[in-house]
Structure 1
């Protein structure tokens, strides 16, 4: 089977099967760092597989260089496609294939342009948000955070120049000093780990390709797992119980969205009932397997291309 067909089938298989499999693997949050790596690796490898597939087909139709290859490297499907591209089946079909390849390449360029535009707009919006938060609030030197004088509960970080941690008056009123420090450590962990870069990438892919669950579900799962990673970082400094009590207090505050409450409940459940050691081991093993599959596929594809071109 040809490299193009292998990559095409791989991309569609992963796009369909990976969301359900990876979601089950990462549900407990047993190994959030590796689970995040698995989601990102699968999303990127799927995009690469589709990109290489389109490139191979367009180059084949445009240059006809595939005709110098032995037939054993190609499927019957691509052989017929090549014959049609060089005009063996008539000019009408040849013209149709050339037009189809042009639109396939154009669609790939449009997706790439939209993704680049989305990432650039997200970056600009984040920087402007950080600037407006510093203007609207007051800097608290001891907390190294910007305080907003609003009762709505909010505690978040914004990547910018410089990075900014924002805390509302409602959170300051509800939390004591120890719990507030745990919340601030959680937000600092996001900034130190550069979690905003992963969020920007995954949310950008979900925006550009909203009908593909691999990217929409993946963006939500990566965001949830990054929250758990930041919880672990805060727990190493202040202790698991302190972080848990801070989350319980935050979860009890009113005027929060259903999504925020759902994420908080998941984080509370994970901290109150840590995953067992065998669950963690199983999650790590399964996630590593999910990461190695796309890597192996790309290596096989690269090897196949090299063999075909020699």
Structure 2
């Protein structure tokens, strides 16, 4: 069995088992930053394992095609070489070439879709930021653009420069303390580059919607990033103030696509979390479990690579 096979099997196990475990551990937001890290570790390991497996497989194919050996892979390559040479007939030869072409096309299509998704998200947010700056009035004291509309909304969008948008309706609904907390929430999103994480996870979920790790991961990362921003605002202004600001913005206008806003995702769960924080023992337990999960998920491919580098047979070529 090759390193490529080890990585494929491992990534399959992570993709199947990790979503339910991570939802159970991280959904409540007891340790949102660690929850985001654990989700990103699982997603990154699966995608990285696929890429690394493809690279190892390509290297083994090239090596065994040039210098056949007595291994299972070499035997397969010998058969493929015979088919490619037309030994089993023209129809079989054409079938192999068509299959290889479809496989390469499928990979190219997926990569292209991901690239287009990321570019569209970037273009959309940059355009929205530009239009908001044109339509609104920049308030230097707030460090935000104020839109003269009655709907309550406060959100941030990535751009050049990044832009925080607040409506007149939101200003009327928030007193100074609550407004400062909301602005701190939005600044935390921008300083943490949360828009990049969301663009990546949403892009993967869009191109591979049948893989639960990506679809659940995208939704959960969005919730947890809002909780991370809540915590940043609470450290500066207090949990109670952030909670009151969320209540004041309850039922606010929907946050535009690609934007991040205090009233955008999971408001009820976030309000409950702020109103009744978990006790110390539960926080410690969840942190330990999330840290252990992230470590175990990350360790698999590292172990496989280390064994291969050391020349051990567990994930190296196996004689046939």
TM-score (norm 1): 0.87
Q: Which runs of 5+ in 2 are unaligned?
A: 256-262
Deviation at 1:278, TM superposition (A): 2.1
Structure 1 residues 303, 150: CA separation in 2 closer, same or farther (over 3 Å shift)?
Answer: same
- Once the two structures are overlaid, the 10-residue window that deviates more, 273-282 or 183-192, is 273-282
Query: Is the CA contact (8 Å cut-off) linking 2:8 and 2:49 kept in structure 1?
Result: yes
The question of 1:35 aligning with 2:29 is answered: no
Query: Is the CA contact (8 Å cut-off) linking 1:58 and 1:105 kept in structure 2?
Result: no
Q: 1:194-205, aligned counterparts within 5 Å?
A: 194-205=193-204
Partner of 1:296: 299
Partner of 1:166: 165
Q: What are the superposed Cα offsets for residues 36-61 of structure 1, whole Å, 9 maximum, x if unpaired?
A: 11111111110121223334444544
CA distance in structure 2 between the partners assigned to 1:11 and 1:130 by the alignment = 38
Structure 1 residues 168, 265: CA separation in 2 closer, same or farther (over 3 Å shift)?
Answer: same
Structure 1 residues 46, 94: CA separation in 2 closer, same or farther (over 3 Å shift)?
Answer: farther
Over the aligned positions, Cα root-mean-square deviation in angstroms equals 2.6
The question of 1:212 aligning with 2:207 is answered: no
CA distance in structure 1 between the partners assigned to 2:40 and 2:254 by the alignment = 29
The question of 1:281 aligning with 2:284 is answered: yes
Secondary structure of 2:29 counterpart: coil
Query: Is the CA contact (8 Å cut-off) linking 2:118 and 2:203 kept in structure 1?
Result: yes
Q: Which runs of 5+ in 1 are unaligned?
A: none
Query: Is the CA contact (8 Å cut-off) linking 1:148 and 1:168 kept in structure 2?
Result: yes
Q: 1:14-29, aligned counterparts within 5 Å?
A: 14-29=14-29
- What is the aligned residue count? 301
Secondary structure of 1:35 counterpart: helix
Secondary structure of 1:14 counterpart: helix
Structure 1 residues 198, 261: CA separation in 2 closer, same or farther (over 3 Å shift)?
Answer: closer
Structure 1 residues 66, 292: CA separation in 2 closer, same or farther (over 3 Å shift)?
Answer: farther
Match for 2:82 among 63, 83, 87? 87
Partner of 2:181: 182
Q: 1:1-310, aligned counterparts within 5 Å?
A: 1-61=1-61, 64-65=64-65, 71=71, 78=73, 81-87=76-82, 91=88, 96-97=95-96, 99-251=98-250, 253=251, 263-306=266-309, 307=311, 308=316
Deviation at 1:298, TM superposition (A): 1.8
Q: What are the superposed Cα offsets for residues 265-286 of structure 1, whole Å, 9 maximum, x if unpaired?
A: 0110110111222222222222
Query: Is the CA contact (8 Å cut-off) linking 1:7 and 1:53 kept in structure 2?
Result: yes
Query: Is the CA contact (8 Å cut-off) linking 1:28 and 1:275 kept in structure 2?
Result: no
Q: Could you say which structure has the higher helix fraction?
A: 1
TM-score (norm 2): 0.85
Query: Is the CA contact (8 Å cut-off) linking 1:42 and 1:290 kept in structure 2?
Result: no
Structure 1 residues 95, 4: CA separation in 2 closer, same or farther (over 3 Å shift)?
Answer: farther
Query: Is the CA contact (8 Å cut-off) linking 1:61 and 1:101 kept in structure 2?
Result: no
